[in-house]
């Protein structure tokens, strides 16, 4: 029984360390890209965005332990629901603010 707990604990620690290393790499790479200015700015924006999306996935997999197994299915459904709600709130607010700004009548004093 002790060996099973020890192996399981060791596997979990390895998962956290691997996720931490990926997170550090995915943080340093965009930082260096921006500081060194090796690529044009539009390509830098795209690379930083790609690194941030990959880092979000790394956090979900290695720290939150989300996967596509049947045990985690409800956690993934809940995560998808939260992402949809955040998307609606953020982009709905931007849309409303844009329309308010567009329809405001400016007067010259």
pLDDT band at 8 (very low <50, low <70, confident <90, very high): low
Q: Based on the domain organization, do 31 and 59 belong to the same domain? A: yes
Q: What does 5-58 look like in DSSP terms, one character per residue?
A: HHHHHHHHHHHHHHHHHHHHHHHHHHHHHHHHT-S-HHHHHHHHHHHHHHHHHH
Q: Based on the domain organization, do 53 and 84 belong to the same domain? A: no
Q: Based on the domain organization, do 93 and 44 belong to the same domain? A: no
Domain range for residue 92?
Answer: 70-109
CA dihedral 10, 13, 17, 20 (to 10 degrees): 160
Token reading at 20: 């931490």
d(CA 109, CA 98): 24
Give me the pLDDT at residue 75, please.
87
Give me the pLDDT at residue 82, please.
94
pLDDT digits (tens, 9 = 90+) for 34-83: 999 889 989 999 999 999 999 999 999 999 888 888 888 888 889 899 99
Tell me which long-range contacts 98-107 makes (C-beta under 8 A, separation of at least 24): none
How confident is the prediction for the chain on average, in pLDDT? 86
Q: Which of 47, 2, 51 is nearest to 22 (CA)?
A: 51
Give me the pLDDT at residue 71, please.
82
Q: Based on the domain organization, do 30 and 75 belong to the same domain? A: no
Q: Based on the domain organization, do 59 and 89 belong to the same domain? A: no
């Amino acid at each position: 029984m002790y060996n099973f707990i020890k192996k399981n604990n060791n596997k979990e620690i390895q998962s956290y360390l691997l996720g931490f290393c990926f997170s550090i790499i995915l943080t340093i790479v965009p930082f260096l890209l921006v500081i060194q200015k090796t690529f044009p700015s539009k390509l830098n924006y795209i690379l930083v965005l790609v690194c941030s999306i990959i880092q979000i996935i790394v956090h979900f997999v290695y720290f939150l332990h989300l996967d596509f197994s049947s045990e985690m299915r409800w956690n993934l459904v809940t995560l998808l629901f939260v992402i949809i709600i955040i998307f609606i709130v953020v982009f709905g607010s931007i849309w409303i603010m844009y329309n308010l700004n567009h329809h405001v009548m400016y007067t010259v004093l």
